Amino acid sequence: MYSLFVDTHDKDIIIALFKDGEVLESSIKTSERHHSDYTMPMLKSVLNNNNLTVRDLNEILVVNGPGSFTGVRIGVTIAKTLAYTLDIPIKTITSLECLAISSNIQEKKISIIRDVKGVFCSLFDENNNMLASPFYKSNSVFDEYVETNGIKPEAIIEYIPYNLEKIYSRLQNMEPTNAHEVKPIYIKEIEALKDDKAS
């Protein structure tokens, strides 16, 4: 079975091709504002390098945010279009889940994406199960939140390389989503729902 992984939520565009759970090839390109220029050529290159076309794909795996409006929208749109036109399953995972799963921390942890004023984050248990949907905390309130929840400094996860095999394994335990129902999670959307009270 061939699975295509797409992640454009941040400045690193990640395209990976799996065969029966093993990474055949992965491609990473750093792009500040030109995701639309690079994503499809990267996808085509990964398939061509393995003598495949999109019609050989059996499922689509996509990171649906939180991320920048333009970045995450590009990856999700490509993934939805492929899943719908090829009539194959699509599964979603958040960028915060990818960070938690990729870590080697086997205790309560929190994944974060920073901005100048605070963090977008989600809390996970020792088995990387999400305990809270992504939310926003200002820097001062985040420090209190970490202390209240007994999170050790080393259990705050950001900017680590993805472990694609672990992410794939987690996705195999998730149910596919209807392509029409896959929605991007935008950082600005979370910020608009800021709640600096206990959560």
**And the tokens for 116?**
């100048």
Range in 113-117, 135-139, 156-160 with the lowest mean pLDDT: 113-117
Contact 121, 94 (CB under 8 A): no
Domain positions in the chain: 2-95+162-189, 96-157
What are the φ and ψ backbone dihedral angles of 176, each rounded to 5 degrees? -65, 160
Confidence (pLDDT) at 190: 60
Confidence (pLDDT) at 191: 54
Domain 96-157, CATH:
3.30.420.200
For residues 160-172, give the mean pLDDT: 96
Domain 2-95+162-189 has CATH 3.30.420.40: yes
Using CB atoms within 10 Å of the CB of residue 82, give its burial: 0 to 12 exposed, 13 to 18 middle, 19+ buried: buried
| pLDDT higher than 80, residue 162 | yes
Split at pLDDT 50, 70, 90, the class of 15 is very high
Confidence (pLDDT) at 124: 95
Domains 2-95+162-189 and 96-157 share a fold: yes
> What does pTM read for this prediction?
0.91
- The gap from C-alpha 24 to its chain's centroid, in whole angstroms, comes to 19
Contact 145, 88 (CB under 8 A): no
